[in-house]
Every structure is written in structure tokens, then in C-alpha cells.
Amino acid sequence: MSTEEKSKSISWPLRLLVVAVAACALAAALWLLAPPAGRVTPADKAVALRDERELAVRAEWAVHNATLLVAIREAVDGRDWVYAERTIEHFSEFVDDPRLAAARADFLARKRKAQEEILLVEAENLPGTDVRRNRAVYAKLASLRPDNDEYARRLRLYNQRLAEENAAAVEGYFRNRSRTRADHGAALALLREALEIAPAEPRYRALLDRLRRDALLFPEGDGRLETAVEDEGVRDGVRTFYLWAFNVGRDGLRLGPERIELATVTNATLRPAQAPDFDVTLSPGRSVRGRVSFATSAAPEALTVRYDDGAVTRRFPQSDE
């Protein structure tokens, strides 16, 4: 037998084997994608279980509907809202009976009325000075009875009073010369609540901008260097910052005026015109502070202080944030 004949005699069985393997793989894929008749999928089981449950619920209602309607009415009369709701929802999913629908409507109306009575008693016992709790009560009442103008009016009143109380507390925060980061977080939460009530109020927006700027006064950094900064504004085309730098690491850190950068909202990157206090090597635990001036009147975006192989950047809040 020639070499060519031997090659042909070997290649044909291999070809048949490859074809057979491919056919088996295709059959397996088709079986997975389109299960043959008789194979039960999880979806089929779920449908079967739901059908069984529907039959059981309908059969139970057909036999016991009179007793169940009495039990629901007695539960509502006794303000057993949990039993009444559980029973109604159990049957309402599958049973279309006008008596059950009427029982459900009666349950909802009477439960809402009972909740309203409880809330009104709570409101009567609250002093008018407890603005936050009054607001919470009237928010619930207005939700229960959106058709009640008096509840809506009182909710608006307590919303306004709460927003004003929060804003006054934030203004008090700024008068506290020993304020802490925790105080700042609490003031910010109060102001955000006021802005949820009156998002367009200019006074609240101005306080928010002030709070965001105030956050820069609390030191932040990378574990080696921390900085704090206050924007002192622009005069004669020169913007000045009061800058603090703290060495909180274990090694000395070399600073320098040439290592301080200001990025502005106009996409400019500037070196300071003056920063004499920062030509220094900071020992561990030591700090330096002083004024840093830049020849620009553009609003600041970020101030970066570089040292050795690291850098700390503080970003300035923008009014549209």
C-alpha cells in the first residue's frame, strides 16, 4: 500500500470521529437550550406550584367564604389589622369575589381612620415648639389623607419652621470659634435637610457654599503631610490663601514655594508670587503656616502642596456642585 493510500485510510476514521463529536456537542447544546418533552424545568415547577396553590385557595374560599368574611369583619372591628390584612391578601390574589373586595375596601378605610385618630391624639399632645416631631406627625397625616387641606397646610408650616431652625443652627455653627469636624458634619446634615424642604432658597444655598469652604479648614492629607487652607479672596488682581502644612509622618519633608501649585477654573496652573514661609524642611510633628499669593483673580479649583515624592491636593467647592 502506498503512503498516500495509507494516509487516506487513516484520515477517514478521524474525520468520522470529529463529525461524531461535533454532532454530540450540537445535540447537547440543543437539549440545554430547548429541553425535550418530558424534562421539567425550574420555571415549569414554579408554574405548577402556583397552579396548585391557586386551586387550593379557590377551594378553601368556596367552602369557607361565609366564615372567613365574618372572621375578617370581626378582626377589623377589634382592630386586629394584622390578621385582617393577612387573610384578605391571601385570598385576594386568586379570588374574584365582590364580597371580598368590599371587605378589603372596608378594612383599608377603617385602618386608615384608626391611624388618623392615633396621630391626631399624638399631635394634640405635642407642644408647638417641638417642630421636628410635629412635622413628622403631619407628614404621616398628609400621606394618609392627601385630600385634607388642613393637614397639608400644617405640614407646610412645620416644614418652613424646621428649615429656618436648621439654618439658624448652621449660622450658630459659624459663630463657634472652636468648631470641630464633627460639628461641621452635623451642620451640613441640618442644612441639607433644609435644602430638601426649600432647594431654591438663596440663603440656604449661600450657607451651603460657606460650609463647603469651611471644610477646607480641617486638615486632610495622605498620612505623611496634611494641609488646611482658607481662601482670603482677591485684591488688586492677586488671590491670597492662608495655608497650613503639618508633618504627620515619621520623616522630614522638604517643602518649597516652587512646590505649591494653584489650579483655577480657567484651566490655568500657577506657582505662587509669594510664599516665603514655605521654604522649609518640616521635621516630624512640626507644622508651618503662612500666606500664599498668586497673580490671578480667577476662582480656585485646587491647591496642591508637593513634597519629596508625594503631594496633597485640596479641592475648592464650586457653586454649581
Q: How close are the terminal C-alpha atoms of the chain, in Å?
A: 86
pLDDT band at 133 (very low <50, low <70, confident <90, very high): very high
- Last residue of some domain: 92, 118, 144? 118
Residue 110 lies in a domain: yes
Question: Domain of 271?
Answer: 219-315
Model pLDDT for residues 22-42, shown as the tens digit of each residue: 555 665 555 555 555 557 788
pLDDT value at 13 more than 80: no
CATH number of the domain bearing residue 227: 2.60.40.1240
β-pairing, 287-294 vs 300-307, is: unpaired
- Last residue of some domain: 118, 144, 163? 118
pLDDT value at 6 more than 50: no
Ranking 33-42, 62-71, 137-146, 217-226 by mean pLDDT, the lowest is 33-42
Nearest-CA neighbor of 283 among 224, 218, 217, 220? 224
Residue 188 lies in a domain: no
Number of domains in the chain: 2
Cα separation, 182 vs 186, in Å, equals 6
Residue 140 lies in a domain: no
Q: Partners of 245 in the beta sheet?
A: 227, 288
In terms of pLDDT, which residue wins out, 202 or 1? Answer: 202
User: What pLDDT does 261 receive?
Assistant: 96
Grid cell listed for 162? 424646621
In terms of pLDDT, which residue wins out, 29 or 212? Answer: 212
Grid cell listed for 36? 425535550
Residue 145 lies in a domain: no
Contact (Cβ atoms closer than 8 angstroms) between residue 253 and residue 307: yes
- Compute the mean pLDDT over every residue in the chain, rounded to the nearest whole number: 89
SS3 annotation, the chain: CCHHHHHHHHHHHHHHHHHHHHHHHHHHHHHHHCCCCCCCCHHHHHHHHHHHHHHHHHHHHHHHHHHHHHHHHHHHHCCCHHHHHHHHHHHHCCCCCHHHHHHHHHHHHHHHHHHHHHHHHHHHCCCCCCHHHHHHHHHHHHHHCCCCHHHHHHHHHHHHHHHHHHHHHHHHHHHCCCCCHHHHHHHHHHHHHHHHHCCCCHHHHHHHHHHHHHHHHCCEECCCEEEEEEEEEEECCEEEEEEEEEECCCCCEECCHHHEEEEECCCCEECCCECHHHCCEECCCCEEEEEEEECCCCCEEEEEEEECCEEEEEECCCCCC
Residue 192 lies in a domain: no
Model pLDDT for residues 85-126, shown as the tens digit of each residue: 999 999 999 999 999 999 999 999 999 999 999 999 999 999
User: What pLDDT does 8 receive?
Assistant: 47
Residue 198 lies in a domain: no
Average pLDDT over residues 142-160: 96
- Last residue of some domain: 66, 83, 118? 118
Residue 64 lies in a domain: yes
Cα separation, 245 vs 291, in Å, equals 12
Residue 108 lies in a domain: yes
pLDDT value at 14 more than 90: no
Nearest-CA neighbor of 139 among 163, 157, 126, 125? 157
User: What pLDDT does 44 receive?
Assistant: 82
Q: Partners of 238 in the beta sheet?
A: 235
User: What pLDDT does 123 receive?
Assistant: 95
User: What pLDDT does 7 receive?
Assistant: 46
| Amino acid code (one letter) for 276 | P
